[in-house]
Structure 1
Amino acid sequence: MNIQGDTWAGALESTLRSLATEKNHSVNTQITNRLLLEAFARWAIDKKLPNPAAVTIDHVHEYLAMERERGLAPSSLKGSIVALRHLFSFLRKEGFVSIDLSQDLELPKVGLRIPRTLSEKDVMQLLSIEFPQTEEGVRNRAIVELLYGAGLRASELVDLRLTSFLPEERLLRVLGKGRKERIVPLGSAAIGALEEYLQKGRPRLLGPRRCDFLFLKRGGRPLSRFSINHLLLQLARKAGLRRGIHPHLLRHSFATHLLHRGADLRSLQLMLGHADLATTQIYTHVEIDRLRAVHRQFHPRGQ
Protein backbone atom coordinates (compact mmCIF):
# COMPACT_ATOMS: atom_id res chain seq x y z
CA MET A 1 0.00 0.00 0.00
CA ASN A 2 1.28 3.46 -0.84
CA ILE A 3 1.17 5.23 2.52
CA GLN A 4 2.00 8.90 2.70
CA GLY A 5 3.05 8.79 6.33
CA ASP A 6 5.17 11.92 6.23
CA THR A 7 2.06 14.01 6.85
CA TRP A 8 -0.90 13.61 9.18
CA ALA A 9 -3.31 13.86 6.27
CA GLY A 10 -1.57 11.08 4.39
CA ALA A 11 -1.34 8.81 7.43
CA LEU A 12 -5.00 9.29 8.29
CA GLU A 13 -6.24 8.74 4.74
CA SER A 14 -4.18 5.56 4.37
CA THR A 15 -5.40 4.23 7.72
CA LEU A 16 -9.05 5.02 7.03
CA ARG A 17 -8.83 3.51 3.55
CA SER A 18 -7.42 0.33 5.06
CA LEU A 19 -10.17 0.16 7.69
CA ALA A 20 -12.86 0.65 5.07
CA THR A 21 -11.58 -2.17 2.87
CA GLU A 22 -10.00 -4.68 5.24
CA LYS A 23 -12.16 -4.24 8.34
CA ASN A 24 -15.36 -3.74 6.35
CA HIS A 25 -16.45 -0.94 8.68
CA SER A 26 -19.88 0.58 8.19
CA VAL A 27 -20.18 4.12 6.83
CA ASN A 28 -21.10 5.43 10.28
CA THR A 29 -18.04 3.80 11.86
CA GLN A 30 -15.82 5.22 9.12
CA ILE A 31 -17.18 8.72 9.76
CA THR A 32 -16.70 8.36 13.52
CA ASN A 33 -13.11 7.14 13.13
CA ARG A 34 -12.32 10.01 10.77
CA LEU A 35 -13.66 12.64 13.18
CA LEU A 36 -11.80 11.15 16.16
CA LEU A 37 -8.49 10.79 14.33
CA GLU A 38 -8.72 14.25 12.79
CA ALA A 39 -9.26 15.70 16.29
CA PHE A 40 -6.12 13.93 17.52
CA ALA A 41 -4.13 15.09 14.48
CA ARG A 42 -5.14 18.73 15.06
CA TRP A 43 -4.00 18.44 18.69
CA ALA A 44 -0.70 16.84 17.62
CA ILE A 45 -0.03 19.56 15.04
CA ASP A 46 -0.65 22.20 17.73
CA LYS A 47 1.96 20.35 19.80
CA LYS A 48 4.44 20.73 16.92
CA LEU A 49 4.36 17.00 16.13
CA PRO A 50 4.69 16.97 12.31
CA ASN A 51 3.60 13.37 11.74
CA PRO A 52 2.67 10.19 13.66
CA ALA A 53 6.32 9.07 13.83
CA ALA A 54 6.99 11.97 16.22
CA VAL A 55 4.31 10.83 18.67
CA THR A 56 5.29 9.00 21.86
CA ILE A 57 3.08 7.12 24.28
CA ASP A 58 3.43 10.06 26.68
CA HIS A 59 1.88 12.31 24.05
CA VAL A 60 -1.05 9.92 23.66
CA HIS A 61 -1.60 9.72 27.42
CA GLU A 62 -1.46 13.53 27.60
CA TYR A 63 -4.13 13.79 24.91
CA LEU A 64 -6.40 11.24 26.61
CA ALA A 65 -5.94 12.97 29.98
CA MET A 66 -7.05 16.22 28.36
CA GLU A 67 -10.12 14.44 26.97
CA ARG A 68 -10.98 13.12 30.44
CA GLU A 69 -10.55 16.54 32.02
CA ARG A 70 -13.02 18.12 29.63
CA GLY A 71 -15.63 15.62 30.81
CA LEU A 72 -15.64 13.11 27.97
CA ALA A 73 -17.88 10.14 28.82
CA PRO A 74 -16.17 6.74 29.18
CA SER A 75 -17.96 5.46 26.07
CA SER A 76 -16.69 8.43 24.02
CA LEU A 77 -13.19 8.04 25.46
CA LYS A 78 -13.30 4.38 24.49
CA GLY A 79 -14.09 5.41 20.91
CA SER A 80 -11.05 7.69 20.81
CA ILE A 81 -8.78 4.93 22.11
CA VAL A 82 -10.12 2.40 19.62
CA ALA A 83 -9.51 4.86 16.77
CA LEU A 84 -5.94 5.50 17.97
CA ARG A 85 -5.35 1.77 18.27
CA HIS A 86 -6.41 1.39 14.63
CA LEU A 87 -4.09 4.22 13.57
CA PHE A 88 -0.90 3.11 15.28
CA SER A 89 -1.45 -0.58 14.67
CA PHE A 90 -1.80 0.09 10.95
CA LEU A 91 1.18 2.45 10.80
CA ARG A 92 3.37 -0.07 12.63
CA LYS A 93 2.30 -2.84 10.26
CA GLU A 94 3.19 -0.65 7.28
CA GLY A 95 6.58 0.20 8.81
CA PHE A 96 6.03 3.93 9.17
CA VAL A 97 6.36 3.95 12.97
CA SER A 98 8.75 1.69 14.87
CA ILE A 99 6.52 1.03 17.89
CA ASP A 100 2.85 0.16 18.03
CA LEU A 101 1.69 2.68 20.62
CA SER A 102 -1.75 1.07 20.73
CA GLN A 103 -0.29 -1.83 22.76
CA ASP A 104 -0.22 0.38 25.87
CA LEU A 105 -3.71 1.85 25.53
CA GLU A 106 -6.24 0.26 27.87
CA LEU A 107 -9.94 0.69 27.23
CA PRO A 108 -11.97 2.30 30.03
CA LYS A 109 -14.74 0.33 31.64
CA VAL A 110 -18.07 1.45 30.27
CA GLY A 111 -21.16 0.97 32.38
CA LEU A 112 -24.03 -1.00 30.91
CA ARG A 113 -26.55 1.26 29.20
CA ILE A 114 -30.07 -0.10 29.41
CA PRO A 115 -31.92 0.93 26.24
CA ARG A 116 -35.11 2.93 26.57
CA THR A 117 -38.11 1.23 25.02
CA LEU A 118 -41.74 1.93 24.30
CA SER A 119 -44.41 -0.16 25.96
CA GLU A 120 -46.55 -2.34 23.73
CA LYS A 121 -49.42 0.04 24.50
CA ASP A 122 -47.38 3.03 23.26
CA VAL A 123 -46.45 1.22 20.04
CA MET A 124 -50.08 0.31 19.41
CA GLN A 125 -51.02 3.94 20.07
CA LEU A 126 -48.47 5.03 17.46
CA LEU A 127 -49.65 2.50 14.89
CA SER A 128 -53.32 3.27 15.48
CA ILE A 129 -53.11 6.91 14.36
CA GLU A 130 -54.92 7.73 11.15
CA PHE A 131 -52.50 7.77 8.24
CA PRO A 132 -53.99 9.67 5.27
CA GLN A 133 -54.63 7.66 2.12
CA THR A 134 -52.06 9.63 0.16
CA GLU A 135 -48.78 8.51 -1.36
CA GLU A 136 -46.89 9.78 1.69
CA GLY A 137 -49.49 8.45 4.09
CA VAL A 138 -49.32 4.83 2.96
CA ARG A 139 -45.52 5.12 2.76
CA ASN A 140 -45.29 6.42 6.31
CA ARG A 141 -47.42 3.61 7.69
CA ALA A 142 -45.22 1.06 5.92
CA ILE A 143 -42.11 2.72 7.36
CA VAL A 144 -43.36 2.53 10.95
CA GLU A 145 -44.60 -1.04 10.52
CA LEU A 146 -41.21 -2.13 9.17
CA LEU A 147 -39.14 -0.30 11.79
CA TYR A 148 -41.08 -1.99 14.57
CA GLY A 149 -42.02 -5.21 12.77
CA ALA A 150 -38.48 -6.02 11.61
CA GLY A 151 -36.31 -4.14 14.13
CA LEU A 152 -34.51 -2.16 11.44
CA ARG A 153 -31.89 0.52 11.91
CA ALA A 154 -32.69 3.77 10.07
CA SER A 155 -29.69 3.22 7.78
CA GLU A 156 -30.99 -0.25 6.91
CA LEU A 157 -34.47 1.05 6.15
CA VAL A 158 -33.33 3.77 3.73
CA ASP A 159 -30.99 1.26 2.04
CA LEU A 160 -33.78 -1.23 1.24
CA ARG A 161 -34.31 -1.99 -2.44
CA LEU A 162 -37.34 -3.34 -4.28
CA THR A 163 -35.67 -6.75 -4.33
CA SER A 164 -35.30 -6.67 -0.52
CA PHE A 165 -38.96 -7.61 -0.03
CA LEU A 166 -39.73 -11.29 -0.64
CA PRO A 167 -43.56 -11.40 -0.50
CA GLU A 168 -43.94 -15.10 -1.31
CA GLU A 169 -41.62 -16.06 1.54
CA ARG A 170 -42.91 -13.26 3.83
CA LEU A 171 -39.32 -12.18 4.42
CA LEU A 172 -37.18 -9.06 4.22
CA ARG A 173 -33.58 -9.15 3.04
CA VAL A 174 -31.60 -6.58 5.05
CA LEU A 175 -28.04 -5.31 4.63
CA GLY A 176 -26.74 -4.45 8.08
CA LYS A 177 -23.46 -3.18 9.47
CA GLY A 178 -20.46 -4.16 7.40
CA ARG A 179 -22.83 -4.92 4.50
CA LYS A 180 -23.71 -8.23 6.15
CA GLU A 181 -26.99 -9.64 4.90
CA ARG A 182 -29.64 -11.07 7.17
CA ILE A 183 -33.16 -12.33 6.61
CA VAL A 184 -35.98 -11.10 8.84
CA PRO A 185 -39.50 -12.57 8.85
CA LEU A 186 -42.41 -10.17 8.46
CA GLY A 187 -45.82 -10.28 10.08
CA SER A 188 -49.13 -9.69 8.36
CA ALA A 189 -49.40 -6.05 9.46
CA ALA A 190 -46.00 -5.12 8.00
CA ILE A 191 -46.63 -7.08 4.80
CA GLY A 192 -50.06 -5.49 4.32
CA ALA A 193 -48.71 -1.97 4.84
CA LEU A 194 -45.77 -2.60 2.52
CA GLU A 195 -47.94 -4.06 -0.25
CA GLU A 196 -50.34 -1.12 -0.03
CA TYR A 197 -47.41 1.27 -0.35
CA LEU A 198 -46.04 -0.60 -3.36
CA GLN A 199 -49.43 -0.50 -5.07
CA LYS A 200 -50.75 2.95 -4.15
CA GLY A 201 -47.84 5.04 -2.99
CA ARG A 202 -44.51 4.25 -4.58
CA PRO A 203 -45.55 4.44 -8.28
CA ARG A 204 -46.84 8.00 -7.79
CA LEU A 205 -43.83 9.07 -5.76
CA LEU A 206 -41.51 7.59 -8.38
CA GLY A 207 -43.07 9.39 -11.33
CA PRO A 208 -41.08 9.14 -14.58
CA ARG A 209 -37.77 8.44 -12.81
CA ARG A 210 -36.09 5.08 -12.41
CA CYS A 211 -34.95 4.11 -8.91
CA ASP A 212 -34.70 0.76 -7.17
CA PHE A 213 -34.70 2.10 -3.60
CA LEU A 214 -37.80 0.93 -1.78
CA PHE A 215 -38.79 4.07 0.10
CA LEU A 216 -38.98 7.28 -1.89
CA LYS A 217 -39.93 10.89 -1.47
CA ARG A 218 -41.82 12.82 -4.11
CA GLY A 219 -39.78 13.11 -7.28
CA GLY A 220 -38.50 9.54 -7.06
CA ARG A 221 -35.51 10.21 -4.80
CA PRO A 222 -34.66 7.92 -1.86
CA LEU A 223 -35.43 9.01 1.66
CA SER A 224 -32.64 10.00 4.05
CA ARG A 225 -32.14 9.00 7.68
CA PHE A 226 -32.89 12.59 8.64
CA SER A 227 -36.27 12.29 6.92
CA ILE A 228 -37.08 9.15 8.91
CA ASN A 229 -36.16 10.80 12.23
CA HIS A 230 -38.22 13.88 11.40
CA LEU A 231 -41.19 11.71 10.40
CA LEU A 232 -41.15 9.76 13.67
CA LEU A 233 -41.04 12.95 15.75
CA GLN A 234 -44.12 14.21 13.92
CA LEU A 235 -45.96 10.91 14.33
CA ALA A 236 -45.13 10.75 18.05
CA ARG A 237 -46.75 14.16 18.55
CA LYS A 238 -49.76 13.10 16.51
CA ALA A 239 -50.11 9.94 18.59
CA GLY A 240 -49.96 11.96 21.81
CA LEU A 241 -46.84 10.25 23.12
CA ARG A 242 -45.16 12.26 25.84
CA ARG A 243 -41.64 11.70 24.57
CA GLY A 244 -40.28 11.79 21.04
CA ILE A 245 -39.31 8.59 19.31
CA HIS A 246 -36.54 7.67 16.92
CA PRO A 247 -35.84 4.58 14.76
CA HIS A 248 -33.55 2.90 17.28
CA LEU A 249 -36.22 3.25 19.97
CA LEU A 250 -38.54 1.16 17.81
CA ARG A 251 -35.70 -1.33 17.24
CA HIS A 252 -35.14 -1.61 21.01
CA SER A 253 -38.89 -2.05 21.48
CA PHE A 254 -39.00 -4.77 18.81
CA ALA A 255 -36.29 -6.73 20.63
CA THR A 256 -37.68 -6.22 24.12
CA HIS A 257 -41.25 -7.17 23.20
CA LEU A 258 -40.04 -10.35 21.49
CA LEU A 259 -38.06 -11.26 24.59
CA HIS A 260 -41.04 -10.56 26.84
CA ARG A 261 -43.12 -12.96 24.78
CA GLY A 262 -40.62 -15.80 24.98
CA ALA A 263 -38.16 -15.35 22.09
CA ASP A 264 -34.73 -16.90 22.65
CA LEU A 265 -31.59 -14.79 22.50
CA ARG A 266 -30.05 -16.63 19.54
CA SER A 267 -33.10 -15.97 17.34
CA LEU A 268 -33.16 -12.37 18.50
CA GLN A 269 -29.47 -12.03 17.62
CA LEU A 270 -30.12 -13.26 14.07
CA MET A 271 -33.08 -10.92 13.56
CA LEU A 272 -31.18 -7.89 14.89
CA GLY A 273 -28.04 -8.72 12.93
CA HIS A 274 -25.71 -8.60 15.94
CA ALA A 275 -22.30 -10.12 15.25
CA ASP A 276 -21.83 -10.97 18.94
CA LEU A 277 -24.45 -12.52 21.20
CA ALA A 278 -23.12 -10.35 24.04
CA THR A 279 -24.59 -7.32 22.25
CA THR A 280 -28.02 -8.94 22.24
CA GLN A 281 -27.78 -9.84 25.93
CA ILE A 282 -28.34 -6.23 26.92
CA TYR A 283 -32.05 -6.90 26.41
CA THR A 284 -32.01 -9.51 29.17
CA HIS A 285 -31.32 -6.64 31.57
CA VAL A 286 -34.45 -4.92 30.31
CA GLU A 287 -36.35 -8.13 31.02
CA ILE A 288 -34.85 -8.35 34.52
CA ASP A 289 -35.97 -4.79 35.25
CA ARG A 290 -39.49 -5.74 34.16
CA LEU A 291 -39.45 -8.80 36.43
CA ARG A 292 -38.30 -6.65 39.36
CA ALA A 293 -41.23 -4.29 38.76
CA VAL A 294 -43.67 -7.23 38.61
CA HIS A 295 -42.23 -8.63 41.83
CA ARG A 296 -42.52 -5.28 43.62
CA GLN A 297 -46.09 -4.85 42.44
CA PHE A 298 -47.52 -8.29 43.12
CA HIS A 299 -45.47 -10.05 45.80
CA PRO A 300 -46.90 -9.53 49.30
CA ARG A 301 -43.44 -8.60 50.58
CA GLY A 302 -42.14 -7.18 47.31
CA GLN A 303 -41.82 -3.68 48.69
Structure 2
Amino acid sequence: IHQGLKAQELALLAVTAIHLDKGQVAVRGTATTNSRELPLQGSQVQVLQRYLEQDRPQLLGESGSDQLLVGMRGKPMQTEDIVKHVLRTYKGRYGDRQISTGTIRQSVIANLLKAGHDISVVQYYAGHKYPSSTERYKQADFSVLRQMVGKYHPLR
Protein backbone atom coordinates (compact mmCIF):
# COMPACT_ATOMS: atom_id res chain seq x y z
CA ILE A 1 0.00 0.00 0.00
CA HIS A 2 2.81 2.43 0.86
CA GLN A 3 4.27 2.06 -2.63
CA GLY A 4 1.01 2.97 -4.37
CA LEU A 5 1.23 0.10 -6.84
CA LYS A 6 -1.53 -0.65 -9.29
CA ALA A 7 -3.38 -3.92 -8.70
CA GLN A 8 -2.01 -5.17 -12.02
CA GLU A 9 1.55 -4.44 -10.86
CA LEU A 10 0.92 -6.39 -7.65
CA ALA A 11 -0.42 -9.34 -9.64
CA LEU A 12 2.72 -9.34 -11.80
CA LEU A 13 5.19 -9.30 -8.88
CA ALA A 14 7.45 -12.34 -8.79
CA VAL A 15 9.17 -13.66 -5.68
CA THR A 16 12.46 -12.65 -7.28
CA ALA A 17 11.26 -9.02 -7.32
CA ILE A 18 11.40 -8.86 -3.52
CA HIS A 19 14.86 -7.99 -2.17
CA LEU A 20 14.50 -8.28 1.59
CA ASP A 21 18.26 -7.82 2.11
CA LYS A 22 18.12 -4.41 0.39
CA GLY A 23 14.60 -3.57 1.57
CA GLN A 24 13.40 -3.04 -1.98
CA VAL A 25 10.83 -4.29 -4.47
CA ALA A 26 11.48 -4.32 -8.21
CA VAL A 27 8.26 -3.41 -10.02
CA ARG A 28 7.87 -4.50 -13.63
CA GLY A 29 6.53 -1.92 -16.00
CA THR A 30 3.19 -2.27 -17.72
CA ALA A 31 1.71 -0.65 -20.81
CA THR A 32 1.06 2.48 -18.76
CA THR A 33 3.85 2.46 -16.15
CA ASN A 34 7.64 2.27 -16.11
CA SER A 35 9.71 -0.32 -14.26
CA ARG A 36 11.18 0.89 -10.99
CA GLU A 37 12.76 -0.16 -7.70
CA LEU A 38 10.98 1.09 -4.60
CA PRO A 39 11.93 1.00 -0.93
CA LEU A 40 10.08 -1.23 1.52
CA GLN A 41 9.30 -0.12 5.05
CA GLY A 42 10.72 -2.17 7.92
CA SER A 43 7.28 -3.52 8.82
CA GLN A 44 6.76 -4.58 5.20
CA VAL A 45 10.07 -6.45 5.17
CA GLN A 46 9.00 -8.36 8.29
CA VAL A 47 5.57 -9.24 6.87
CA LEU A 48 7.04 -10.30 3.53
CA GLN A 49 9.73 -12.41 5.20
CA ARG A 50 7.11 -14.29 7.22
CA TYR A 51 4.90 -14.69 4.16
CA LEU A 52 7.77 -16.01 2.02
CA GLU A 53 9.14 -18.36 4.68
CA GLN A 54 5.94 -19.65 6.30
CA ASP A 55 2.63 -18.73 4.69
CA ARG A 56 3.40 -18.90 0.97
CA PRO A 57 4.96 -22.41 1.06
CA GLN A 58 1.84 -23.71 2.84
CA LEU A 59 -0.43 -22.06 0.28
CA LEU A 60 1.59 -23.37 -2.66
CA GLY A 61 1.65 -27.00 -1.56
CA GLU A 62 2.76 -29.02 -4.58
CA SER A 63 2.14 -26.34 -7.15
CA GLY A 64 5.03 -24.22 -8.26
CA SER A 65 4.55 -20.57 -9.06
CA ASP A 66 7.08 -17.78 -9.03
CA GLN A 67 4.38 -15.13 -8.58
CA LEU A 68 4.54 -13.49 -5.17
CA LEU A 69 0.85 -13.44 -4.35
CA VAL A 70 -0.93 -16.78 -4.37
CA GLY A 71 -4.44 -17.63 -3.24
CA MET A 72 -5.75 -20.30 -0.90
CA ARG A 73 -5.36 -23.04 -3.53
CA GLY A 74 -1.80 -22.05 -4.39
CA LYS A 75 -2.71 -20.45 -7.70
CA PRO A 76 -1.38 -16.99 -8.58
CA MET A 77 -3.73 -14.17 -7.62
CA GLN A 78 -5.14 -12.27 -10.57
CA THR A 79 -5.68 -8.52 -10.65
CA GLU A 80 -9.40 -8.97 -9.92
CA ASP A 81 -8.61 -11.13 -6.86
CA ILE A 82 -6.34 -8.43 -5.46
CA VAL A 83 -8.96 -5.72 -6.01
CA LYS A 84 -11.62 -7.83 -4.24
CA HIS A 85 -9.26 -8.51 -1.33
CA VAL A 86 -8.46 -4.80 -0.89
CA LEU A 87 -12.14 -3.87 -1.02
CA ARG A 88 -13.03 -6.52 1.59
CA THR A 89 -10.12 -5.54 3.84
CA TYR A 90 -10.75 -1.78 3.87
CA LYS A 91 -14.54 -1.65 3.50
CA GLY A 92 -16.06 0.41 6.28
CA ARG A 93 -12.75 1.65 7.73
CA TYR A 94 -13.19 5.12 6.27
CA GLY A 95 -16.85 5.78 6.89
CA ASP A 96 -18.87 6.35 3.75
CA ARG A 97 -15.84 6.92 1.54
CA GLN A 98 -15.48 4.49 -1.34
CA ILE A 99 -12.08 2.80 -1.20
CA SER A 100 -10.47 1.14 -4.21
CA THR A 101 -6.96 0.23 -5.28
CA GLY A 102 -7.08 3.32 -7.49
CA THR A 103 -8.00 5.70 -4.68
CA ILE A 104 -5.24 4.25 -2.50
CA ARG A 105 -2.70 4.79 -5.29
CA GLN A 106 -3.97 8.33 -5.90
CA SER A 107 -3.73 9.09 -2.19
CA VAL A 108 -0.13 7.85 -2.00
CA ILE A 109 0.89 9.97 -4.99
CA ALA A 110 -0.96 13.07 -3.75
CA ASN A 111 0.56 12.71 -0.28
CA LEU A 112 4.09 12.44 -1.72
CA LEU A 113 3.53 15.67 -3.63
CA LYS A 114 1.91 17.34 -0.62
CA ALA A 115 4.94 16.37 1.49
CA GLY A 116 7.08 18.44 -0.88
CA HIS A 117 8.82 15.70 -2.85
CA ASP A 118 10.18 16.78 -6.22
CA ILE A 119 7.78 15.96 -9.04
CA SER A 120 10.44 13.91 -10.89
CA VAL A 121 10.94 11.75 -7.78
CA VAL A 122 7.19 11.20 -7.45
CA GLN A 123 6.97 10.47 -11.19
CA TYR A 124 9.60 7.73 -10.81
CA TYR A 125 7.95 6.39 -7.65
CA ALA A 126 4.55 6.18 -9.38
CA GLY A 127 6.05 4.75 -12.56
CA HIS A 128 4.46 7.47 -14.67
CA LYS A 129 5.84 7.66 -18.18
CA TYR A 130 5.05 11.37 -18.52
CA PRO A 131 5.43 14.25 -16.03
CA SER A 132 1.92 15.42 -16.92
CA SER A 133 0.53 12.21 -15.41
CA THR A 134 2.12 13.12 -12.09
CA GLU A 135 1.26 16.82 -12.25
CA ARG A 136 -2.46 16.09 -12.28
CA TYR A 137 -2.12 14.83 -8.69
CA LYS A 138 -1.02 18.22 -7.43
CA GLN A 139 -3.82 19.42 -5.25
CA ALA A 140 -4.44 22.80 -3.76
CA ASP A 141 -4.70 22.63 -0.02
CA PHE A 142 -8.37 23.57 0.10
CA SER A 143 -8.41 24.16 3.84
CA VAL A 144 -5.78 26.89 3.44
CA LEU A 145 -7.61 28.27 0.42
CA ARG A 146 -10.90 28.31 2.35
CA GLN A 147 -9.24 30.19 5.23
CA MET A 148 -7.76 32.74 2.86
CA VAL A 149 -11.10 33.31 1.11
CA GLY A 150 -12.82 33.65 4.48
CA LYS A 151 -10.22 36.13 5.65
CA TYR A 152 -9.74 38.29 2.55
CA HIS A 153 -12.88 37.95 0.42
CA PRO A 154 -14.70 41.31 0.20
CA LEU A 155 -18.11 39.73 0.88
CA ARG A 156 -17.09 37.90 4.04
Give me the TM-score of the superposition, normalised by structure 2. Answer: 0.86
Task: Calculate percent identity across the aligned residue pairs.
Answer: 28
* 1:301 maps to 2:155: no
Mapped to 2, the partners of 1:249 and 1:264 lie a distance apart of 21
Aligned in 2, Cα 1:261/1:240: closer, same or farther, shift over 3 Å?
A: closer
Residue of structure 2 equivalent to 1:220: 74
**Is the contact between residue 25 and residue 38 of structure 2 (CA under 8 Å) also seen in structure 1?**
yes
Mapped to 2, the partners of 1:241 and 1:212 lie a distance apart of 37
Mapped to 1, the partners of 2:34 and 2:90 lie a distance apart of 31
**Is the contact between residue 172 and residue 186 of structure 1 (CA under 8 Å) also seen in structure 2?**
yes
Residue of structure 2 equivalent to 1:34: none
Residue of structure 2 equivalent to 1:47: none
Higher helix share: 1
Look up the equivalent residue of 2:28 and give its one-letter code.
L
**Is the contact between residue 61 and residue 74 of structure 2 (CA under 8 Å) also seen in structure 1?**
yes
**Is the contact between residue 205 and residue 218 of structure 1 (CA under 8 Å) also seen in structure 2?**
yes
Mapped to 2, the partners of 1:270 and 1:240 lie a distance apart of 29
- Structure 2 regions of 5+ residues with no counterpart? none
Residue of structure 2 equivalent to 1:260: 114
Look up the equivalent residue of 2:101 and give its one-letter code.
P
**Is the contact between residue 149 and residue 190 of structure 1 (CA under 8 Å) also seen in structure 2?**
no
Mapped to 2, the partners of 1:186 and 1:154 lie a distance apart of 17
The offset of 1:235, in angstroms, is 1.7
Look up the equivalent residue of 1:296 and give its one-letter code.
R
Residue of structure 2 equivalent to 1:236: 90
The offset of 1:215, in angstroms, is 0.3
CA-to-partner distance for each residue in 1:140-197, whole Å, 9 max, x for gaps? Answer: xxxxxxxx21110111000000000111211110112238421111222322222232
Q: How does 1:196-215 map to 2 (within 5 A)?
A: 196-215=50-69
Mapped to 1, the partners of 2:118 and 2:57 lie a distance apart of 39
Please, what is the CA RMSD of the aligned residues? Answer: 2.0
- Larger radius of gyration, structure 1 or 2? 1
* 1:270 maps to 2:129: no
Q: Which of 34, 38, 43 in structure 2 is aligned with 1:189?
A: 43
1:184 alignment partner, SS class: strand
1:241 alignment partner, SS class: coil
* 1:159 maps to 2:12: yes
1:203 alignment partner, SS class: helix
Residue of structure 1 equivalent to 2:2: 149
Structure 1 segments of 4+ aligned residues over 3 angstroms from their partners: 297-300
Tell me how many residue pairs correspond in the alignment: 152
The offset of 1:277, in angstroms, is 0.7
Give me the TM-score of the superposition, normalised by structure 1. Answer: 0.47
**Is the contact between residue 27 and residue 35 of structure 2 (CA under 8 Å) also seen in structure 1?**
yes
CA-to-partner distance for each residue in 1:49-106, whole Å, 9 max, x for gaps? Answer: xxxxxxxxxxxxxxxxxxxxxxxxxxxxxxxxxxxxxxxxxxxxxxxxxxxxxxxxxx
1:183 alignment partner, SS class: strand
**Is the contact between residue 236 and residue 243 of structure 1 (CA under 8 Å) also seen in structure 2?**
no
